Structure 1
Amino acid sequence: MIHTLKLIRLLLTTMIMRIAFRVFYIFPIQKNRVMFQAFREKQYSCNPKYISQKLREMYGDEVEIGWSFKNPEKYRYLEKEGIKVLKSRTLALYKFALTAKVICTNTYYKTTLPRRRGQYFIRTWHGGGAYKRVGSMEKLPFLKRISLNLQAQGAHLYLSSSKAFTFMTIRESFGYKGEVMECGMPRNDILLNGDHEAISKRVKKALGMQENERLALYAPTYRYDLSLDHYDIDYEGAIHALETRFGGKWRFAFRTHNFVEMKAGDRIGEDVIDATDYPDMQELLIAADALFTDYSSSIWDMSLMYKPAFLYANDLKAYESGRDFYMDIHLWPFPLSENNEELIKNILNFDEDKYHKDVKAHHDVLGSCESGHASEMVAKRIHEVMTKG
């Protein structure tokens, strides 16, 4: 009964707010206007960032770009690049959103904002490969699934990193039947075509590292309860193993998922760098010489560069019985550890040749669509939508 009442309240609130926001329909849609948001308006990052940059590069002032943020003051510097910085839940934001020709987001879109006829919605999502379950295939309460389905409505275009992602995530989990552009993730273009040496130097300087130091990045995903109990990697033991196996001096950096970033300091030691506030995960991956994660799709991104990537999953059985995976984690090509002893052993026994072959086979099995030109392809589509109306 309680769940039924909550569902009714959710649906009524959504309906009432969508009707109320139609007052902005008195303003015509601006064909050259594009609105972006990333990670529920918390960041300037991921696929939307790289599409936005490519639009500016290719079409300049021909395109009016706006970004919505919960903390806009942090991103005022974007105004110097000709980008409108809009504060979430303001009249200015609502007007811009409801008069934009194209809206591009990497997560779910606001349930309360109507999908106006004549607008074009792009959902890039924020993960490649096909790993942990999302959308309707997550083991979520009924009400939560309804809420996510409402937020997922109205997309005209999805982007995909692989054939497996298209089928299992976009078609099955999201129930989407429309157009999918299998071009790869725009954020991964820089991994395939970027100036890695210059980026690595910039990242290490920002993190307070020496250029000759090697970087091990620990970037686990979140848990539903936002607990940090499972982030107990043995940094000292892993560093010793890395230096023994690969040589050189190593440093660890810890980056939490954006859902739990406020708690990052709770799980880093004195010699571990807190990289949570570094604005671009892809640049961190470029600078990193090895990645440690659990179930994060960042491991797909890292694999595109064939750098060592290790799975540290000390709550694997609980995670499988809760959220679970599209593909058995034991079939992934990355060395899997369920405790620190196994992790150290996997580092010491790392075989580059086998790893490279396994990763290549993994890309083939999933049907990788990573092109290195996804940002350009999406920018061209946006321009086409704007000009053809």
Structure 2
Amino acid sequence: MKVVWNADNGRYADNPRALHEAWTARGGDGVDHLWLASSRQAATFPPGVATVPIGTPQAVAALEAADVLVSNTHIQLDRWRKRPGAVYLQTWHGTPLKRIHRDAAFQPPDDVMAELDDDIARWDLLVTPSAEGTRLLRAAFAYRGRVLETGYPRNDVLSAPDRAARRARVRAELGLAEGTTAVLYAPTYRDDEAAPGVDAPLGLDVGALARRLGDDAVVLLRLHHYMGHQSRPAGGGRVQDVGAYPDISDLYLAADVLVTDYSSSMFDFAVTGKPILVFAYDLAHYRDRLRGFTLDLEAEAPGPVLLDQEALTAALLDLPAVAAAQAGRYARFVQRFCALEDGRASERVLEALWAEGLPPG
């Protein structure tokens, strides 16, 4: 049996990574696993993981020969044809806070949208993190196929028995001393800033924030992988650029608070129960002109929505009181979006694949 994996168009990451690790941990013979890898990411794949360069004829041939395809995004390669009888498992890459696909205010050209719709038509199974996630993803993609409402495999580590040990290991790797408050800043991308060559300064002065927070805090900067061209502050000291860290789930465990904006990271981080602050410096532009939201952010986010850096800094300096004041809405958010995140999502997804008649080993 041949299984082809894709995450973020050529990375070893996200739900496919979690599923791949859970699958291969079971052992067994007769299964060939092959990952699509971008040239920039090929060196980051673990030893022993077979790859094929994405965007090449070899990649198209691999897709068309696969018995199982697992991806967390659209596969856009020369309008490849899925083999009859193959199973295409689409995990997607987050609960959509920002509107996506045909729900979004920002639309790509018609030919690109048609290619994306062609890919959606190939999906046999769609993994969703919650009943609300199912509703949102079905609506965005006009998807009428089968859904696996299991929770997200990438979040299993956040509830795993070894999560405390993993947190300690990652913090040690990052040089975070005992008692240091780790502030993870993980913003999403802006469609009008994502193209290479576009001047895209950070919306947050992370250096100034770190100085205000003092010696007992470190800001961990995790920019979206679409924003590799975005200007970054000098690393070291109380600001660390963790964009190259392999698995953001480890950073969720290491962090003590998440600062984000319109990223689906808030849905994942909420599994940890730790505070979340929403820094929405361009709220009106993003909400009203660029993307739009699937929920009322200011009323339903799991933490306060802060419109300027001074308000964000004040909230971080008074974090216990802010978290206590937000406890009710945080609990409602978790119940709505994270109730299935119990550490067993990978197991449920794989069992569903075996139910398709595929060999489990």
Q: Which residue identity is paired with 1:329? A: L
The answer to whether the aligner puts 1:93 opposite 2:65 as a matched pair is: no
Q: Is the 8 A contact 1:186 1:375 kept in 2?
A: yes
- Count residues with an aligned counterpart: 347
Aligned equivalent of 2:126, options 158, 177, 180: 158
CA displacement at 1:268 relative to structure 2: 6.0
Aligned equivalent of 2:158, options 191, 203, 206: 191
Give distance in 1, aligned partners of 2:237 and 2:67: 49
Give distance in 1, aligned partners of 2:261 and 2:236: 19
Residue in 2 aligned with 1:6?
Answer: none
Q: Which residue identity is paired with 2:310? A: E
The change in CA–CA distance for 1:277 and 1:197 in structure 2 (over 3 A counts) is: same
The change in CA–CA distance for 1:168 and 1:86 in structure 2 (over 3 A counts) is: same
Residue in 2 aligned with 1:362?
Answer: 333
Give distance in 1, aligned partners of 2:338 and 2:168: 33
Aligned equivalent of 1:122, options 89, 93, 100: 89
Give distance in 2, aligned partners of 1:94 and 1:145: 20
The change in CA–CA distance for 1:89 and 1:211 in structure 2 (over 3 A counts) is: same
CA displacement at 1:265 relative to structure 2: 2.9
Residue in 1 aligned with 2:189?
Answer: 222
Q: Is the 8 A contact 1:238 1:343 kept in 2?
A: no
The answer to whether the aligner puts 1:379 opposite 2:347 as a matched pair is: no
**Which has the larger displacement, 139-148 or 64-73?**
139-148
Q: Which residue identity is paired with 1:195? A: D
Aligned equivalent of 2:2, options 12, 30, 33: 33
Residue in 1 aligned with 2:142?
Answer: 175
Deviations 1:81-137 (A, max 9, x none): xx3222223444333222111100001112521122111101101113x41111110
CA displacement at 1:68 relative to structure 2: 1.0
Note the residue ranges of structure 1 that are not aligned, 5 or more in a row: 1-31
Residue in 1 aligned with 2:314?
Answer: 345
CA displacement at 1:367 relative to structure 2: 7.2
Residue in 1 aligned with 2:223?
Answer: 256
1:1-389 correspondence runs (5 A): 32-41=1-10, 43-71=11-39, 73-75=42-44, 77-79=46-48, 83-111=49-77, 112-128=79-95, 130-139=96-105, 140-143=107-110, 144-169=112-137, 171-224=138-191, 225-226=193-194, 228-237=200-209, 240-241=212-213, 249-263=216-230, 265=232, 271-321=238-288, 322-331=290-299, 332-347=301-316, 348=318, 350-366=321-337, 368-387=339-358
The change in CA–CA distance for 1:208 and 1:261 in structure 2 (over 3 A counts) is: farther
Q: Which residue identity is paired with 1:328? A: D
CA displacement at 1:195 relative to structure 2: 1.7
CA displacement at 1:360 relative to structure 2: 1.5
Q: Which residue identity is paired with 1:146? A: A
CA displacement at 1:353 relative to structure 2: 3.4
The change in CA–CA distance for 1:317 and 1:85 in structure 2 (over 3 A counts) is: same
SS of 1:216 mapped into structure 2: strand
RMSD: 2.5
CA displacement at 1:66 relative to structure 2: 1.0
Deviations 1:180-207 (A, max 9, x none): 1111100011111252232223322333
Q: Is the 8 A contact 1:230 1:314 kept in 2?
A: no
The change in CA–CA distance for 1:388 and 1:84 in structure 2 (over 3 A counts) is: closer
Q: Is the 8 A contact 1:56 1:63 kept in 2?
A: no
SS of 1:168 mapped into structure 2: helix
Give distance in 2, aligned partners of 1:127 and 1:118: 27
Give distance in 2, aligned partners of 1:280 and 1:376: 19
CA displacement at 1:267 relative to structure 2: 7.6
Q: Is the 8 A contact 1:289 1:308 kept in 2?
A: yes
CA displacement at 1:368 relative to structure 2: 3.7
CA displacement at 1:334 relative to structure 2: 1.1
The change in CA–CA distance for 1:209 and 1:281 in structure 2 (over 3 A counts) is: same
Q: Which residue identity is paired with 1:303? A: A
TM-score normalised to structure 2 length: 0.88
TM-score normalised to structure 1 length: 0.82
User: Structure 1 or 2: larger helix share?
Assistant: 1
Q: Is the 8 A contact 1:228 1:267 kept in 2?
A: no
**Which has the larger displacement, 356-365 or 105-114?**
356-365
Q: Which residue identity is paired with 2:120? A: A
Q: Is the 8 A contact 1:203 1:283 kept in 2?
A: yes
Q: Which residue identity is paired with 2:265? A: S
**Which has the larger displacement, 353-362 or 370-379?**
353-362
Give distance in 2, aligned partners of 1:356 and 1:268: 33
**Which has the larger displacement, 196-205 or 328-337?**
196-205
SS of 1:108 mapped into structure 2: coil
The change in CA–CA distance for 1:76 and 1:300 in structure 2 (over 3 A counts) is: closer
CA displacement at 1:369 relative to structure 2: 3.1
CA displacement at 1:163 relative to structure 2: 1.5
Q: Is the 8 A contact 1:221 1:257 kept in 2?
A: yes
SS of 1:320 mapped into structure 2: helix
SS of 1:345 mapped into structure 2: helix
Give distance in 1, aligned partners of 2:104 and 2:235: 30
Q: Is the 8 A contact 1:196 1:287 kept in 2?
A: no
Q: Which residue identity is paired with 1:316? A: L
Residue in 2 aligned with 1:11?
Answer: none
Q: Is the 8 A contact 2:207 2:233 kept in 1?
A: no
